[in-house]
Amino acid sequence: MNLERAMIYNRIDLHQNVRLPAEWERQSGILLALPHKLTDWNYMLDEVLYCYRHIIASIIEDEPVLLVVDDINEAKSKLAGLDLNRIIFHSIGTNDTWTRDYGPIPLMVDGKPELCDFLFNAWGMKFAADKDNLVTSLLADNGAFTCPIRNHRNFVLEGGSIESDGNGTLLTTSNCLLSPNRNGAFHKSDIEVFLKSALGVENIIWLNHGALSGDDTDGHIDTLARFVPNDRIAYVASDDAADFHYEELKLMERELASFTNKDGKHYELVKLPLPDPVFDENGERLPATYANFLIMNHQVLVPTYSQPKKDEIAMDIIRQLFPERKVVGIDCSPLIKQHGSLHCSTMQLPENALKL
C-alpha cells in the first residue's frame, strides 16, 4: 500500500489540517461499556460492577458518560444512586468492555472534532469481536455523536496501542502494530504511511522493548509509557533486579531516553513504579500497571491495586505531572483479573463530539 492508495481508500484530503490530539486536551465525555452477564465478567459480575460504579461516579463529577449497555433498564438499576442525568445510555450488544480498543479514535480536522472508526479484531483474533467491532458505527447510527465519522475499517487499530503528544508525534510498540494477525499484509513502512496520512502525525516512534506478564494485547503502549504535558513521558520501571520485568523495562527506558519529538527535542522521562506482582487464581501474573491512568478535563483517574505504599507513590508522581487536576485513585483489582485496567475500559471523546 502506498500513500496515494491510502489517500484514495480512506478519502483523506491532504488540504485539511488533521491532528491527533493529546488526551489532556478538552473533552466532551467518556465512553464506557458496562459489563453484563453475557460477557466474560459473568463469574464475577457483582465485583466488577462495583468497580464500574466507582469509575462512573468519579467521571460524572467532571464529564458526562456515554454508556453502552446490554439492557438500559437493568443498567439503570445497577447504577441506582448515581446521577443518571449525567449518563447517556445506548443499548448495543458487546463481547467485552474494553472501549479503549474498539471505541472511536478522536481527531481534530481544521480545528473541529472528527472520530475514526477502525477495524477491531480482538487483539489479533484472540477472542470474539463481532459485536465490539460494530459499537462505534452503531453509536454513530444512533446519533450519539455530533461530528463526522471517518471510516478506516480497512485497517486494524486499537486506541490503547497509540499515544499522541498532540504535536505531531505518535508513540507505539512494534510488537503490537506489526503483529501479523492485525495488518499482516502491510510492511512497517506501509503502516507508517497510513498512520501519518490517516491521523495527521509527522513523527512515529516505535518502542521495541517493554512487555508485562499476562498482557494479551501484544504490548499496548498505554500499559507501558504515556505522554504527559510539557514534553514528558511517564513510564513504568522496576527497581527489583529479581523481577521478571526488570531487564526488559531497563531496555525500554534506554529506548525512551533516545526518542525525540518532531522538533528533535528529547522527552523528559518520569518513572512510575511497577506494582507488586498480582496473580490470578491459577497463579498467572497479571499486567498490573500505573501507566493505565485516564486524563480528563479536571481530573486524572489512576488505577490502584490494594497496595497502599506503591499506590500512593504512583498517585503522588501523577499529582506532580498534573498539578491543576484532581488525582483520584480507583481500585482496579477486579479489572486486572481480565487482564485490563482503567484506561483500557474508557475512551475520551473530544470537545463538541458528544451529543448531550
Q: What is the signed CA dihedral for 149, 152, 158, 161, rounded to 10 degrees?
A: -110
Query: What's residue 16's pLDDT?
Result: 76
The residue whose grid cell reads 445506548 is 90
The residue whose grid cell reads 505504599 is 309
Distances (CA, A) of 267 to 68, 171, 232, 293, 328: 37, 12, 5, 19, 26
pLDDT 10s digits, 82-110: 999 999 999 999 999 999 999 999 999 99
Among 31, 106, 91, CA closest to 63: 31
DSSP 3-state of 146: coil
Query: What's residue 13's pLDDT?
Result: 57
Query: What's residue 59's pLDDT?
Result: 98
Query: What's residue 15's pLDDT?
Result: 55
- pLDDT (average), residues 265-286: 97
* Residue 1 reports pLDDT greater than 60: no
Q: Which three cell numbers stand for residue 138?
A: 452503531
Share of the chain above pLDDT 70, in %: 96
- pLDDT (average), residues 322-340: 98
Q: What is the signed CA dihedral for 289, 345, 317, 276, rounded to 10 degrees?
A: -20
> Which pairing describes strands 299-304 and 326-331: parallel, antiparallel, or unpaired?
parallel
**Local confidence band at 7 (pLDDT 50, 70, 90 cut-offs):** very low
Q: Residue 194: which H helix or E strand, with range?
A: helix 188-199
Query: What's residue 329's pLDDT?
Result: 98
| CATH of segment(s) 3-350 | 3.75.10.10
DSSP letters along 79-108, please?
A: TTTS-GGGEEEEE---S---HHHHSPEEEE
Q: Are 200 and 150 in contact (CB under 8 A)?
A: no
Q: Are 218 and 184 in contact (CB under 8 A)?
A: no
Catalytic site positions: 344
Q: Which three cell numbers stand for residue 17?
A: 489540517
pLDDT 10s digits, 190-233: 999 999 999 999 999 999 999 899 999 999 999 999 999 999 99
Query: What's the chain's average pLDDT?
Result: 95
Q: What residues have CB less than 8 Å from 130, skipping those under 6 apart? A: 95
**Angle subtended by helix axes 188-199 and 3-10, to nearest 10:** 50
- pLDDT (average), residues 270-287: 97
- pLDDT (average), residues 236-262: 97
* Residue 341 reports pLDDT greater than 80: yes
> What global pTM score does this model have?
0.95
Q: Are 104 and 113 in contact (CB under 8 A)?
A: no
Q: How far apart are CA 299 and CA 294, in angstroms?
A: 8
Among 61, 152, 52, CA closest to 102: 152
Query: What's residue 9's pLDDT?
Result: 43
